[in-house]
Structure 1
Amino acid sequence: MRIFGALAIGGMVLAATAVSVGAADPAPKISNPIIRDKFTADPAPMVVGDTLYLYVGHDVAQRDEMFNMREWMVYSTKDMKRWTDHGPIMNVADFKWAKQDAWASQAIQKNGKVWFYAAVEHDATHPGKAIAVAVADTPTGPFRDAKGSALITNEMTPKGTHSWEDIDPTVMTDDDGTTWIAWGNRQCYIAKLKPNMIELDGPITEITPPHFEEGPWLHKRGKTYYLTYASLDRKTQRDEHVSYATASSPRGPWTPHGLLTGSGKYSFTIHPGIAEFRGQSYLFLHNADLAIDDQRGAIGRRAVTVYPLTYNKDGTMRPVVQTPNAVTMAPPK
């Protein structure tokens, strides 16, 4: 494991944020991008107890490559300023039926296990993108293929317009114990999962909101369901933004609320992930505003960022302004 965002001396870990001697540190600072030694994308936070785990894809594109992603990684934090690198948790080759592309993922805890859903490219037996499911006993793995085959293949969504529509899974367990999975590119789909977490339980429903491009994220606050996603108005926008919609049921109808935030700096893609941690909600994104050695950020070399997320009294989310400057986390309650 590697701890960064901190300085280790004589076995002690000292916060990189300056703190006066004897002073309390009630509001840790976060600087963006939060991971600076690797190119990372598609952030998916999961909170377990006093720890936030952050699952990411690892960009390794060289020169002018578009996307080159072979593995998924996980980081953890207890204070949002010091992050522990737990290394790769899976490689796309661990799914024997997949041939490439460790794309966007999300993990969820249920039934004493951690379930990991991820987008990959299926082999020639089921051409196109597909969604895999893996399982582990702990958030940091080791993970293994839980099904031995794809959970969702391109053939299961025949109304779609292209072979890469079955990507970017997001999972959420409702108050009644039902787990939902949503996914898509240009078309957005949702379905229930069976209690075993490796099979769909019923039909696939299309719930595509306005300007939906990809990267959906499901969460619930009170009685309101939120669908946050990468949006693209192809008539007016060059790069993806983030929009959201709300509903009183996971299958909708969904009410659009427009933009939550703009595009990530220098990046065509963007991917939202939302979590509440220590009394504060956060919006995780990615941009391409990071250089490592002689490699600058690019469409295939992205960097994860995070911002505070707040709600209005009516339940709508306040627009988020992306900034490289330090942001503040609320102290523990």
Structure 2
Amino acid sequence: MKFLTALSLLFASYGVANAYNNCTHTCRVLVTEDGVEWGAENNDWCIIDQSLCVKEEDKNQCFSFPNYLCCNECNVVLEDEEGKWGYENNRWCGIKDTCTKQAEPEPKPEKKEFCAKHIITSMYTADPAPLIVDDTLYIYTTHDEDVLINNFYTMRDWYVFSTKDMVNWTNHGPILSLDDITWADDRAWAPQTIERNGKYYFYYPAHKIDGGMAVGVAIGDSPVGPFKDIGEPLVYQDDWIDFDPTVFIDDDGQAYLYFGNPQLRYVLLNEDMVSYNEEVGIVDVELTVEGFGEGNNNPTSYDEGPFFYKRNGIYYMLFSGFRKGYESEYIGYATSTSPTGPWKYGGILMEEHEDKTFTNHSSIVEFNGHTYFFFHTGDLPDGGDFHRSVAYIEFEYNEDGSINPITNNLGKC
């Protein structure tokens, strides 16, 4: 695009300035006479309109100013060695600088790094389950004995630890043991506690004497006990499936007790919390790949360790299981809009501890404005498959309620 460099009319042949129009699409001054600045358009003289020609104004920020005014829009019609041109109102105009500058990308929010921590290092613990009472968080755990019997899980009692600040933890000692349960003799495995009507209900699995696995319940007046067993199993089907209970009371007051390895099951607890709706009975959840991911030796990756809760109208089911191609447990999760499914697989929460321990068991709690993921690993000295330790790490949900994979970075930050 080139400027007019010559005029076919002589300036001297014209009369006074009032006989000419203001320039409409140029600010280039060709001649100044008697205080009047003259330009030329369409082979005719015109008077420079100073109101249009203030260089500092945003509308005049383009390469072609003052010879050609800047375009109002950003539609490029032609590009030459001088720049990009538009065509508006039957005239050429220069594309404004704001059109050609690349929009600066919005800065990405800094990814917060959270550090995993143990709750206690003086003993071996596993299978954490949270309960908040007033300003205190309680974590109920199993206990791996120092001395193993038959090189297998040697677990005979349950512990609870509490904190008000996630830094200082109080060990309240064993709150229940197999010695307190007349019908059980082994496998004091993963428990959970819930409060209702001023009472605390401690749900636990254990091996029934001369039988299989069962789910029991003990009652206390305090979150730290003492707890008294009801004297018989709450759920027992003479098989090895009924363990790892998780309990939740929905907004309508209905309490749900999920449990099971390798089959996920549930019952509807009655108001007394020590019996269940026998008309509904014990329900086997339909385990699908769409709900629980693809498994290794089983059709789905669900195996054990369910943890059931609700957030913002979404029901979450955390679980331990085996992904295709893996021989140790990872933590996955599923979601639903109903407390009994159908479930939709959400993905990986924590990958396998292949070099630490064969198992993992998880739970989630929101406490003092933060959200924490609890799990167990074998990171303590002499730790491993049968000597585990409970740890936690803070995390944040995505806006849609999904959860990104969480890394066990114990000792790395």
Q: Which amino acid aligns with 1:118?
A: Y
- Contact 2:186/2:207 (8 A) holds in 1: yes
Report the counterpart of residue 143 of structure 2 in structure 1. 58
Q: Which residue of 2 aligns with 1:114?
A: 200
CA distance in 2, matches of 1:81, 1:279: 15
Where does residue 10 of structure 2 map in the other structure?
none
Deviation at 1:203, TM superposition (A): 2.3
Q: Identify the match of residue 214 of structure 1 among 296, 304, 313.
A: 304
| 1:290 equivalent in alignment to 2:380 | yes
Amino acid at match of 1:58: H
Say whether the 8 Å CA contact 2:348–2:404 is kept in structure 1: no
1:149 to 232, 235, 242: 232
> Which of 335, 344, 357 in structure 2 is aligned with 1:267?
357
Residue equivalent to 1:232: 322
Q: Which of residues 305, 324, 330 in structure 2 aligns to 1:241?
A: 330
Per-residue Cα deviation, 1:23-47 (whole angstroms, up to 9, x for no partner): xxxxxx9763221000001011111
Q: Aligned partners of 2:322, 2:146: CA distance in 1, in Å?
A: 24
- Residue by residue over 1:139-191, the C-alpha shift from the partner in whole angstroms, topping out at 9 and shown as x without a partner, is 0100001x211001134xxxxxxx32111000001011111000011110112
In 2, the alpha carbon distance for the partners of 1:68 and 1:247 equals: 36
Give yes or no for contact 2:116–2:394 (8 Å, CA) kept in 1: no
Match of 1:187 in 2: 263
Q: Distance in 2 between matches of 1:42 and 1:169?
A: 11
- The 5-angstrom pairing of residues 4-19 of structure 1 reads none
Matching residue within 174, 178, 191 for 1:88: 174
Q: Root-mean-square deviation (CA), in Å?
A: 1.6
Give me the whole-angstrom Cα distance separating, in 2, the residues matched to 1:319 and 1:298: 23
Count how many residue pairs are aligned between Structure 1 and Structure 2. Answer: 284
State the SS of the aligned residue for 1:299: coil
In the alignment, residue 120 of structure 2 is paired with which amino acid?
I
Q: Does 1:171 align with 2:247?
A: yes
3-state SS in 2 of match to 1:246: strand
- Structure 1 CA distance for aligned equivalents of residues 412 and 182 of structure 2: 42
Structure 1 residue 104 corresponds to structure 2 residue 190: yes
In structure 2, distance between residues paired with 1:108 and 1:30: 28
Equivalent position amino acid for 2:342 in 1: P
| Aligned AA (1:190) | Y
Write the distance in 2 (CA, Å) between the matches of 1:71 and 1:144.
13
Match of 1:129 among 206, 213, 220: 213
Unaligned runs of 5+ residues in structure 2 are 1-113, 293-299
TM-score, structure 2 normalization: 0.66
Any unmatched runs of 5+ in structure 1? Answer: 1-28, 156-162, 328-333
SS at match of 2:264: strand
Residue 236 of structure 1 and its aligned partner are, at CA, apart by 0.5
Letter in 1 for 2:283: T
- Matched residue, 2:64: none
* Higher relative contact order (Cα pairs below 8 Å, separated by 6+ residues): 1
- Aligned mate of 1:281, from 367, 371, 383: 371
CA contact (8 A) 1:93 1:100 kept: no
Corresponding position of 1:256: 345
Paired position in structure 1 for 2:123: 38
Q: Percent identity?
A: 39
